[in-house]
Amino acid sequence: MSADLHDLGFLEVAEALTQKRASSEELTMALLARSEELESKLNSLTWFNREAVLAEARAADAARAAGDNRPYLGVPIAIKDLLNVKGQPCTAGSRILKGYVAPYDATVIARLRAAGCVFVSRTNTDEFAMGGSTETSAYGTTRNPWDTDRVPGGSSGGSAAAVAARLAPAALASDTGGSIRQPAAFCGVTGLKPTYGRVSRYGCTAFASSLDQIGPIARSVEDATAVYQVIAGLDPHDSTTAARPVDDCLPNVRAARDLKGLKLGLPKEYFVDGLHPEVEQLTRAAVAQCRALGAEIVDVELPHSKYGIACYYVLAPAEASANLARYDGVRYGFRAEAEDLQEMYEQTRAQGFGAEVKRRVILGTYVLSSGFHDAYYLRAQKVRTLIRRDFDRVFARCDAILGPVTPSPAFRVGEKTADPVQMYLGDIFTANVNLAGICGLSVPCGFTTGGLPAGLHIIGPAFADARILQIGAAYQHATEWHKQQPKI
Amino acid sequence: MAMRFSENADRMDVRYVAGLARIALSDAEAARLQGQLDDILAFVGELKKLDVSGVEVTDVATEAQNAWRADVPIAGLEREATLANAPLARHGQFVVPKVIE
C-alpha cells in the first residue's frame, strides 16, 4: 500500500479494509502521524489519544481477521467536540466543560460504533457551536488549511479543516444556522445538514433545540452519504426524530450522472449586493454546470430571506439561554469557588463561559423575559412561519434550490471578532434552511483568484436528503473541485 | 420584583438581565456588552417592520408531534459514572454550597 493512506476518503478506506489492502491500525497510525505533523499549524483537533485509538483500531482488525465483515469495520472518523463518545472528553469548545468525560455514547456515535467505526480524534468548535470561525473556542482558533491566516469557518471549523487537511477521511459535525455548510464551503469539502428530525441529537451538547441537526463533513458526496446513511433514523431518545424509513440512497448517489428531469430554483434574493463577486461568479458557473447536466433552471423568489438572520438571532439565543441553564457548576465541569450558591452560579458561569456565549445567553434571556417576549420571541416565531412558507411555495414547483453557501470566501482571523452583527451575517444563506427545518448540502464549486474555496448550496425540501445528495453527486461526477487538496 | 428594564425597549439593562441569567459581569464586560447588544437589538428590530398579524407561530418546523414511549422503566445513566463528572460529590450525591444557615 502506498504511503498516502491519509489521502483515502471514507468509502475508499472501507474498500481498502474489506480487500485487506490495509489494516485499521495502519490507517489510524497514518492519520495520527499526520495529525502530529500538522496540528501545530492547524489546531483543528481538541483531543486525540494515540494508545486508546490504536487499541480500538487493533480490536477492529482482530474482529475482521475473525470473520467480522461489517463494511465500515475499522474505518476512522473524527468527531466534533460537541458529541458524547463514551470515555472521551467532550468540551463543546468551552472552559466550563473542561475535564468532563462522556459517560455515554450519543446515538449517532452508538450507530457508528455498531457499524465498526474508530473514533480517531475530536475536532475543534466554536464554544457551544456559537460562532462562524472557531474563534470563540476556549481551545484556540483553528486555521484554514488553504490559508492559515484565515478562519476555517464555524462552528464545525475543526471538522472541516481536519477533513480538508486529510487528518480524517470524514467527520461528524452539527449545524444550527450553517455550522456544517459554511465551514465545508470555506475549507473546500462536502457538508450535509440533514432535514430536521432525520438524525438524532441525543448526546449532542444542545445549543438551539428547534434548529440543531447533526450531519457529516467528508471529501465527496458519496462519502457524506455513506456516513449519513449510518446515523439517520428514528431514535426513542430524541422525540423529534421522524418515524419515516431511511431508504438506502447510496447506490443511487453513486450512480448519479446527470440532472435530467429536475427543476432547480435560483432565488433572486441570494444574488444581492454584498455577495462577493468571485463567489457569485463561481456559484453562477456551478449553476451553468447543473444546466449542462440537464437540469431546468428557473428563477424563484424567497421574499422573506432578508429577515432570516434577525429571526435566527432571536430564536437561537432564546433556546440557548434555556439549554445552557444546565451549566451551573453542580453536575459537571468547572465550578468557581464561592461563599454561597447564588455567587457560585454567577461566578461559575462568568468564568466558565466565553464572551460570545455570555452575549447570546443574555440576549436570549432578554427576548424571553416578561414584557419583551411578544415583541421579540413570539414575533420571530411568526416570521419563521413566513420563511417556511416561502420555501413551501418554491418547492411546490421546484425539486431543489441552488445558491451560494456563504457571502464571501474565508475571512482573516480576527477580521470580524469585534463586530458580532457582521459575524452573524455570514449565516445569511444558511440559517433560513434551519429555520424551515429543511435540508442543505454544500459542495465545493471552485476557487477564488486568491486560492480560497467556494461552495455551491443545494437546498431541498424536508426529507428530500437523498435527492440533494444525488444532485451533489452528479455535480461532483462532472467536476474536480472536491478533489483539490490544500498544500499545508 | 419590579421590572427594571430601561424605558427604551431597545436598550436593555445588561446587568439586570445578566443577573437573571446568573452571569456575573465586570464593569468593562458590562460596558462592552451594552454596546454590542444595542447593535444586535437594533438589527433584530428589523422584524418589527413585518406585518405578522394572523400568522401562526412555528416552534418546530417539521412534522414532529408529541412522541410517547411505552410506559416501562428504562435504565438511566450509572450513578458512579455520572457523579464522576461532578466538581464535588459525597455519599452518592452532588454537593453544593450551604443554602440554609
User: At a CB cut-off of 8 Å and minimum separation 6, what does A293 contact?
Assistant: A258, A259, A260, A474, A475, A478
Cell triple for residue B30? Answer: 458590562
Q: What is the band of B61 on the pLDDT scale with cuts at 50, 70, 90?
A: confident
Alpha-carbon torsion angle B49, B54, B58, B64, nearest 10: -160
Q: What 3-state class would DSSP assign to B19?
A: helix
A contacts of B29 (beta carbons < 8 Å): 355, 358
Cell triple for residue A67? Answer: 470473520
Residue of B9, B23, B96 lying closest to A361 (CB–CB) = B23
Taking CA–CA distances from B14, the nearest residue in chain A reads: A362
**Interface touch A340/B98, C-beta < 8 Å:** yes
Rounded to 5 degrees, what are φ and ψ at A373? -55, -50
Residue A206 DSSP class: P
pLDDT of residue B10: 62
Q: Please state the rounded mean pLDDT for residues A60-84.
A: 97
Q: What is the pLDDT of residues A335-365, one digit of tens each?
A: 999 999 999 999 999 999 999 999 999 999 9
A395 touches chain B (CB under 8 A): no
Q: Would you list the domain boundaries of chain B? A: 7-48
Taking CA–CA distances from A417, the nearest residue in chain B reads: B36
Assigned fold of A5-265+401-483: Amidase signature (AS) enzymes (3.90.1300)
Q: What 3-state class would DSSP assign to B63?
A: coil
Q: Taking a contact as any Cβ pair under 8 Å apart, which residues of chain A between 227 and 246 contact chain B?
A: 236, 239-240, 242
Q: Give the residue with greater pLDDT, B97 vs A476.
A: A476
Residue with cell 416501562: B72
A460 touches chain B (CB under 8 A): no
pLDDT of residue B81: 87
**Interface touch B57/A385, C-beta < 8 Å:** yes
pLDDT of residue B6: 42
Residue with cell 459517560: A103
Nearest Cα residue to A92 out of A38, A36, A47: A47
Q: Please state the rounded mean pLDDT for residues B28-35.
A: 96
Rg from Cα positions in chain A: 21
Residue with cell 443511487: A252
Residue of A332, A349, A380 lying closest to B22 (CB–CB) = A349
Residue of B23, B58, B64 lying closest to A197 (CB–CB) = B64
* CA A72 from centre of chain: 21
d(CA B59, nearest CA chain A) in Å: 6
The average confidence (pLDDT) of chain A is: 97
**Interface touch B37/A349, C-beta < 8 Å:** no
Q: What is the pLDDT of residues B77-91, one digit of tens each?
A: 889 988 999 999 999
Q: What is the pLDDT of residues A142-198, one digit of tens each?
A: 999 999 999 999 999 999 999 999 999 999 999 999 999 999 999 999 999 999 999
Q: Which residues of A are catalytic?
A: 80, 155, 179
A contacts of B41 (beta carbons < 8 Å): 363, 366
Q: Would you list the domain boundaries of chain A? A: 5-265+401-483
Q: What is the pLDDT of residues A1-45, one digit of tens each?
A: 455 999 999 999 999 999 999 999 999 999 999 999 999 999 999
User: CB–CB of A370/B3 below 8 Å?
Assistant: yes
CATH number listed for the domain at residues B7-48: 1.10.20
Residue with cell 432564546: A318
Cell triple for residue A319? Answer: 433556546
